[in-house]
Structure 1
Amino acid sequence: MGVDIEQFNPHNQAALRAWWEVGHAATADRPGKPWPLWEQSRVALPTPNPERGVTLVAAIDGREMVGAGLVIRTLKENLHTAMAFAYVRPDRTREGIGRRLVEELEVIAAGDGRTTIQSEAYLPPGGSGTGPELFARALGYEVASRESIKELTLADFVARRDALAASAPVPEGYRVITFDTVCPEDHLASFGRLLGMLMSEVPLGELDLQASEWTPERIREAEQRQVSVGRHLLTAMAIAPDGSVAGVSDLRVDDSDPAYGQIGITIVDPAHRGRRLGLVLKTATHDLAVATWPGLVSVDTSNAEVNTWMNAVNEALGYRTIETLLELQKKL
């Protein structure tokens, strides 16, 4: 076929730009904001990440890049897993390039001792049996979980804001604090305890993922990385009457793309559920985003379809479903 699959260094800006262009073209027909701006990728991909290792690969035909892929490996926990993504330039699909990229990504992951590969496929809302899903199944990937990708226009949130505040006041005895990325020192240890619950509390379906441990040192290291790439985690934290962190939610905005945001995590300690803290916290992060980024146009998020509680929170905020996300998994 004349196409070579090669790894390349993300510090090679020409190669990185060509790689970015392939991914941009391959995702151009999807709704919402499926691909980062060039400036985001240019800064983030070459910057060391204490949480993740990333390997970039390219499909080269002569002097042209016609396919792009990446393997992401967690470095702190779930050391048996990796995530693999492959993209093919739209004018070069159905030539076997995608299959060759995936095979190379699996070789890279296996060489690092990873035995479970995870990926994603995107379909129209409620869809199934379309091209991306069939391609994944042909390569041995099964659907481990189904999620809904949702989008919120900030103008819609602002229109609902007063009604939200009336329907979900801060519970008596609790208080909500907000901050940009860097957690206050006096809540750091309790915050880490809550982060450690995340994988055991969110619906994972059949995804082979395990709980993590978040020490104060790890949190600070992760925060510094976010600051270094210009990413803001606009965070709301619920403080219980005993001073512990009862819940947390964040909304992420990049300096290089201030028109669009993305929900990161939302979790409420099981001991403090039933008080609508999820809605309280998400309202607070959106308030902070509107106040901090007046040019913010929309925010996206994703939740497991079976997570009825969080889906109800997002519906109350004004989110609407724009895509179905299939979480894929393959055991090597």
Structure 2
Amino acid sequence: MVDIEQFNPRNEAALRAWWEVGHAATAHRPGAPWPVWEQSRVSLPAVNPEGEVTLLAAIDGREMVGAGLLMRPLRDNLHTATVDVYVRPDRTREGIGGRLVAELEVVAAGDGRTTLHGEAFLPPGASGTGPEAFATALGYEVASRESIRELTLADYLARRGALTDEVAAAGAYRVVTFDTVCPDAYAESFGRLLGMLLDEIPLGELDLRASEWTVERIRDAEQRQLGIGRHVLTALAIAEDGSVAGSSDVRVNDTDTTRGQVGITLVDPAHRGHRLGLALKLATHDLALATYAGIGTVDTSNAEVNTWMNAVNEALGYRTIETLLELQKKL
């Protein structure tokens, strides 16, 4: 008999067993889809001003055979929650995943959440797979499709010189870089730009609403990143009037400095057409290489319909390694 139990992420033994389930369940996927243990050990128990985490375990006797996670935003989009479940490969097709999802939905509904989000990962271009069938059976619909891409930094360096002329139009803007903590002079304008994100990126049918980023919220988020050992290597494009016209970042964890991940790339619509996206990505990738001599790859994801950003990524040398289905269910 498999029991579903909630546990405190500060229980390190339980957290390690939970991590092992997720690690095994994602081992077949390309790239590095699961964080290293030391990162999960630090980040999951840590206070997060942006969201609250609930962890579930599927227990059979003395073994953990399934793992669930519910993330509830605390700052905005308070009608939503994100559901993730993992089942040990030798225990699939026993209904464990469905029971975990059902319990997470109960927790979300009890907190007043009415829209649930989830993810399914497929080989590039695939369809009709097990993850899709599982999601459909539980009432989750595909709201958006994204491409997960990986860049080998050796490939990037081989292309870097040829891209210099392409960003000549960005010469009217200054590029400022920093590690995690935004300079005071740009914080308010940076927040204004971040507030545009959900209005400007392709969301498909995802039920998400624009947010507000005050300087206080930015500083809280920065302290969270510093506390868990995550470096957000950021580049800002500064217009002639001193305002932030665009931003991009690459995130690297202290626990694994061989890999990076692109976080947000966004250009103010009033400043588009100057190749700022490419210029900012060049700046952040250069900063990552200068900061971490051993970094080898960087991952990113973008909506398949975001042709402009996908073209930028292709120019840098990114290649598609997975298709991500953004799932949604209304309770």
Task: Give the match for residue 65 of structure 2.
Answer: 66
- Post-superposition, which runs of at least 4 consecutive aligned residues in structure 1 deviate over 4 A? none
1:117 aligns with 2:116: yes
Task: Give the match for residue 151 of structure 1.
Answer: 150
Shift of residue 164, structure 1, vs aligned partner = 1.2
1:211 aligns with 2:210: yes
Kept in 1, the 8 Å contact 2:150–2:298? The answer is yes
2-structure distance, mates of 1:6, 1:163:
55
Kept in 2, the 8 Å contact 1:170–1:280? The answer is no
1-structure distance, mates of 2:172, 2:27:
48
TM-score scaled to structure 1, two decimals? 0.99
One-letter code aligned to 2:206 = L
2-structure distance, mates of 1:61, 1:276:
55
Q: What is the CA deviation profile of residues 104-137 of structure 1, one whole-angstrom value per residue up to 9, with x for unaligned ones?
A: 0101111111000000000000111100001000
One-letter code aligned to 1:95 = E
2-structure distance, mates of 1:59, 1:256:
28
One-letter code aligned to 2:293 = P
1:41 aligns with 2:40: yes
2-structure distance, mates of 1:224, 1:139:
37
Unaligned runs of 5+ in 1: none
Shift of residue 195, structure 1, vs aligned partner = 0.2
Q: What is the CA deviation profile of residues 45-89 of structure 1, one whole-angstrom value per residue up to 9, with x for unaligned ones?
A: 000000010000000000000000100010000000000000000
* Matched residues, number: 331
Shift of residue 178, structure 1, vs aligned partner = 0.3
Shift of residue 170, structure 1, vs aligned partner = 5.6
1:132 aligns with 2:131: yes
2-structure distance, mates of 1:296, 1:159:
15
2-structure distance, mates of 1:154, 1:61:
43
Task: Give the match for residue 75 of structure 1.
Answer: 74
Task: Give the match for residue 275 of structure 1.
Answer: 274
One-letter code aligned to 1:109 = A
Amino-acid identity (%): 76
Kept in 1, the 8 Å contact 2:22–2:88? The answer is yes
Unaligned runs of 5+ in 2: none
Shift of residue 27, structure 1, vs aligned partner = 0.2
1-structure distance, mates of 2:309, 2:177:
20
Shift of residue 171, structure 1, vs aligned partner = 2.2
Task: Give the match for residue 165 of structure 2.
Answer: 166
One-letter code aligned to 2:249 = D
Kept in 2, the 8 Å contact 1:143–1:328? The answer is yes
Task: Give the match for residue 313 of structure 2.
Answer: 314
- Aligned to 2:175, what secondary structure does the other structure show? strand
Structure 2 matches for 1:244-255, cutoff 5 A? 244-255=243-254
Shift of residue 258, structure 1, vs aligned partner = 0.4
Task: Give the match for residue 243 of structure 1.
Answer: 242
Shift of residue 172, structure 1, vs aligned partner = 3.5
One-letter code aligned to 1:291 = A
One-letter code aligned to 1:13 = E
- Aligned to 1:275, what secondary structure does the other structure show? coil
2-structure distance, mates of 1:210, 1:129:
30
- Aligned to 1:167, what secondary structure does the other structure show? helix
- Aligned to 2:170, what secondary structure does the other structure show? coil
Kept in 2, the 8 Å contact 1:178–1:237? The answer is yes
- Aligned to 1:168, what secondary structure does the other structure show? helix
- Aligned to 2:186, what secondary structure does the other structure show? helix
CA RMSD of aligned residues (A): 0.6
Q: What is the CA deviation profile of residues 197-234 of structure 1, one whole-angstrom value per residue up to 9, with x for unaligned ones?
A: 00000000000000000000010010011001100000
Q: What is the CA deviation profile of residues 218-261 of structure 1, one whole-angstrom value per residue up to 9, with x for unaligned ones?
A: 10010011001100000000000111000000000000010011
Task: Give the match for residue 92 of structure 2.
Answer: 93
Shift of residue 169, structure 1, vs aligned partner = 2.7
2-structure distance, mates of 1:287, 1:147:
25
Task: Give the match for residue 292 of structure 2.
Answer: 293
1-structure distance, mates of 2:168, 2:224:
34
2-structure distance, mates of 1:52, 1:160:
38
Task: Give the match for residue 260 of structure 1.
Answer: 259
1-structure distance, mates of 2:155, 2:327:
33
One-letter code aligned to 1:102 = V
